[in-house]
Chains A and B, each alone.
Chain A
Amino acid sequence: MTLRRTAHNLLALLRKRRLERELEGEIEAHLELAERDALARGLSPEDARREARLRFGGVEQVKELHRERRSFVWLEALLRDLRYGLSSLARSPGFTASVVGVLALGIGANVAMFSIVDAVMLKPLPFAEPDRIVRVWEAPRPGVSNATSAANFLEWKRLATDFEALSAEQSISVALQNGGEPARLNGKAVTSEYFRVFGTQARLGRTFSAEEDQGTAARVIVLSHATWQNDFGADPDILTRRPMLDGEPYQVIGVLAPGAFDRDETKFWKPLAFTPVERESKSHWLMVYGRLREGAELTQVNGRMQAVYAATMEKASEEDRQGAIVVERLARLLVGDNLQRSISIAFGAVALVLLIACANVANLLLAKGAARSKELAVRSALGASRGRLVAQLLTETLVLCLLGGAAGVVLAWTLIRVATPALKEALPFTAEVTLDPRVLGFAGLVALAVALLTGTFPALQTSFGSLAQTLNRAARGSSGSHALVRRAIVIGEVGLSLVLVCGALLLLKSLLKLQQIETGIRVEHVITTSVDLPKSSYPTPEKAAQFYEAVAERLRSVPGVSRVGMTSHMPLQWIGNGEALQEPGERNLVRVRLKRVDPGYFQTLGIPLLAGRGITARDTASAPRVVVINEALAARLKDVSRVQEAVGRKVRVSMPPFGEPTMSMPEVEIAGVIRGERVGPPGMPDPAVVYVPLAQTPATHVKLIVLAQTDVAAAVTALREAVRGVDAKLPLGEVVTLEQVRERTLSGASRPAWLIGVFAVIAALLAGIGLYGVISHTVSQRRREIGIRMALGARSRDVLSQVLRNAVSLVCIGLGIGLLGALALTRVMKSLLYEVSPLDPLAFAASCLAMVLVGLLAGWLPAHRAAGVDPVTTLRDEG
């Protein structure tokens, strides 16, 4: 079609109605003129009109010819192909369903995965100029990031010049009484510049001002938009309300604009005003966030912060002086290396699944093409050009892929809805996983790419060859190069599947290793929950101690509960706050983690005592202050070569005060040494831990730990009743088993394991289906040959084993290729593996075995069919 005609036709499309009118007029004028001439020749008016019409020919036909001329031929051809394609697909519903199903799986998994990649890695964080938001860590030694102390934070604020805003944050949890049952509300105590750091403004009221950093904390809070909506019914008069938090009235001074914080656990913010003691304290308990000045370079900022660090550490211990300040982008913090790697690997895995799905579809298309070659040959003989045939076949594939893509989007939507709650913990709160236009665009592109990838070759292959060849081939009952190509595809599928299965097995093995990690504590039958004691009803340490004792007593009398313990920090979980320990006569401070525990703690968790004694009921507030330390700390004490030597030592330990200001580093005696319990995720060395009697330094935030004799569910009820019995107004935190806690803490790194496991199963399944297709095709084409061989005396068993050998040999070639791929690819998973080599021979052997089994399974049915061939009927049918 020439350019000119294309232009004409385009115009014609736009002016369709006018052109139609013009055509009408033109024909009428023609008829009128003809009629006039006829009249002039002396015909009667009726005859004249008749003759004019007669000589013109079919008016409608002319119009149709006209329209055809000005329309797009290829567009019409396309529509025709589409119609033809759809009807031919409808005619083979089995084929259509299997292709659409396979594609839906492949595309759906990819779209769902892409929505996660997009939300976590591609989209900028949902804050204003997110690149300028940073977290400022203190790093006591390379590779270990830590919270900081109020004293250090205030020094940074005074000395650092690179920040537009710098803010400290402490997580808190309060009981909200808003009518009815008390609810626990997670919040943050923050200094006034917090919202400037995140570029978030108040929608109603205001956020904090500098005055609120001073003096004792004002009872004011800022709510997130979601909290205002969900917990306060979007009350327009919220600024006049006085909700009771921990039994005290608070004033809501502001509600944030909707945004990322609505997805965070944080429901409200209150001012963090340091007490004089806290300002001097050596406790490291604050997270610090900053907004960099415009144009500040991160590397330079890090360099300049070193000078700030040196200035604040002048009087510090030698150990602390070797530390550093680490400024790191919020995005990097939220999406750590491991998460990024996990997601990339999972995305890679679904891409492989899609590739395998494509191979399967190409295979199915080739098989269908072979079946249709006669039809196409006839069409080609009737004058259809090869281009037209390829176009038609591609159109059909495109229709299939679009159908598969649409089904895939539906599947992805379901997957996202189902998986998002499960993923919530693994993903940063800023990530919003949705099927937005970007994701849908991705789905469309994938469907198109799949159509080209799967359709081109089969279309070329199928449309290739002359009529005579095709008919010949059909008569001979073999499809030459078709069969070769399909085998090659299956081999590739097996190879790709092997890579996935192998990766999944490696992850599974490391998951099993993680399950066996020595936690140093008993986790079976142990349940735990948390309680927060509001200052209004528990203003003094004595009151808190009374509460602990009362709850413990109640629980001890419950029949199903055998042991009860309490602690300030959940077992197995990392303790974020660092404290300082000083030995007599030493200037150096040892960085330690502090855990307050009651006398039942070690027993409940079965933590063995190595030397001295544990914490007992006699260690009350009025008794001499003692601590128990772990092995790791004992090893760091001066002149201690055996743990026994640590017992009886006096040390000073910084302790966050309970309510009233107290001495910041009281002297305590080491009463005993226990074997370490695991603190935090695998790979982190055991930190030095100091166990302080709960009765001597009570905490407002306590975990209750209960060892159930047998019935965990009954123990949960008992736990709830015990707390309620002592104080009905206290909201209880989530009740979890320690096994769940271990799961969350330890398996974080291998979370993608189950996901990749699912992909691997799908991949193996698809490879199996592909293999089955090829083998059964081969068998059906070789019926005659098999029939002859059996007539000549071959036994069924021979035929059976020959077909199976055929299947397994295909698998084995695939395995060879797959092994090379797996050797190359499993290395990238190294950081996700725990005590498993990326070349683990067991995983490699098992995955090969699995694929051989898949091959046998896929070959079994066709092999049986082949073995059941009756030579007489076969030869009669085809001879």
Chain B
Amino acid sequence: MSKQQSEVPYGTLDLLVLRTLAVMGPLHGYAVARRIEQVSGDTLQLSQGSVHPALIRLEQEGWIQTEWGISETNRKVKVYSITKAGRKQLLVEVANWEKATSLVARFLEES
């Protein structure tokens, strides 16, 4: 692959998943993974499978919910959508991220 690839920054997968679902509406697991890759312009080296544990975790926290749907290949799949609590959590995560980046940015400015 020609483009330089990077891994998902530590601890941001939840943020990415929540944000994706908030923007795109209900999606199944593959679509979530695919969407994250697309948005990154295929620069993120995401092993797609790692999305699934994240989805379970978010569901357990009550930030997303599932229902059954049918995939394009005619298979019964779980479709995930963000909940009200999930939207709140998304705001928290975004705020945290911004705090972190601005902190790092200040370091960069100083030096």
* Partner among A25, A29, A30, A66 whose Cβ is within 8 Å of the Cβ of B56: A66
Is A8 an interface residue when CB atoms closer than 8 A count as contact?
A: yes
Give bound CA distance, A34 to B37, whole Å.
12
Interface size on A, residues (CB 8 A): 30
Residues of B within 8 A of A (CB): 28-31, 33-34, 47-50, 52-53, 56-57, 59-62, 71-73, 75-78
Main secondary structure of the interface of B (DSSP, over half): helix
A55 at the interface (CB under 8 A from B): yes
Q: Is the CB of B30 within 8 A of A57?
A: no
Q: Which of A28-72 touch B at CB < 8 Å?
A: 28-30, 32-34, 36-37, 55-59, 61-62, 65-66, 68-70
Contact A61 B49 (CB under 8 A): yes
Q: How far is it, in angstroms, between the C-alpha of A862 and the C-alpha of B68 when the chains are bound?
A: 74
Contacts of A29 in B (CB 8 A): 28-30, 71, 73, 75-77
B30 and A34 form a contact (CB under 8 A): yes
Q: How far is the CB of B6 from chain A (nearest CB, A)?
A: 16
Picked from B30, B33, B48, B75, the residue with its CB within 8 Å of the CB of A25 is B75
> What is the bound-complex CA distance between A28 and B72, given in angstroms?
13
List 7 A–B pairs whose Cβ atoms lie within 8 Å, in order of A's numbering. Answer: A29-B73, A29-B75, A29-B76, A34-B48, A56-B48, A65-B50, A65-B52
Closest A residue by C-beta to B46: A55
Contact between chains at B61 and A57 (CB < 8 Å) = no
Partner among A4, A33, A69 whose Cβ is within 8 Å of the Cβ of B30: A33
Does A553 reach chain B (CB closer than 8 Å)? no
In the assembled complex, the Cα of A264 lies from the Cα of B94 at a distance in Å of 83
Contact B73 A36 (CB under 8 A): yes
A26 touches B78 (CB 8 A): yes
A827 touches B (CB below 8 Å): no
Query: Which B-chain residue is minimally distant from A54 (CB atoms)?
Result: B47
Q: Is the CB of B73 within 8 A of A26?
A: no
B60 in contact with A5 (CB, 8 Å): yes
- Separation in Å of the B54 CB from the closest CB of chain A? 9
A92 in the interface (beta carbon within 8 A): no
A70 touching B56 by the CB < 8 A rule? Answer: yes
> Distance in Å from the Cβ of A609 to the closest Cβ of chain B?
99
Q: A29-B30, A30-B30, A69-B60 are in contact. Are A55 and B75 (CB under 8 A)?
A: no
Total number of A-B contacts with CB less than 8 angstroms?
82
The answer to whether A622 has its CB under 8 Å from any CB of chain B is no
B50 touches A57 (CB 8 A): yes
Residues of B within 8 A of A381 (CB): none
CB of A2 within 8 A of chain B? Answer: yes
Chain A residues positioned under 8 Å from B78 (CB to CB): 22, 26
Is A26 a contact partner of B48 (Cβ separation < 8 A)? no
A128 at the interface (CB under 8 A from B): no
Chain A residues with CB under 8 A of B48: 30, 34, 55-57
Beyond the given A26-B52, A29-B71, A62-B49, please list 5 additional residue pairs across the A-B interface where CB-CB is below 8 A.
A26-B78, A29-B30, A29-B75, A57-B48, A57-B49
A30-B73 in contact (CB<8A): no
By the criterion CB–CB under 8 Å, are B72 and A27 in contact? no
Which of B31, B52, B61 neighbours the largest number of chain A CB atoms within 10 Å of its CB?
B52
Q: Which 3 A-B pairs have the closest CB atoms?
A: A57-B47, A62-B49, A65-B53
Q: Known: A4-B61, A66-B52. Contact between A32 and B47, CB under 8 A? A: no
Contacts of A70 in B (CB 8 A): 56, 60
A55 touches B61 (CB 8 A): no
Complex CA–CA separation, A68 to B54 (angstroms):
12
Closest to B85 in A: A4
**B75–A32 CB distance below 8 A:** yes
CA–CA, A9 and B78, complex, Å: 18
| Bound Cα distance from A713 to B61, whole angstroms | 86
Say yes or no: B73 contacts A32, CB within 8 Å: yes
Task: List residues of chain A with CB within 8 A of the CB of B34.
Answer: 33-34, 37
Q: How distant is B73 from chain A, measured CB to nearest CB, in Å?
A: 5
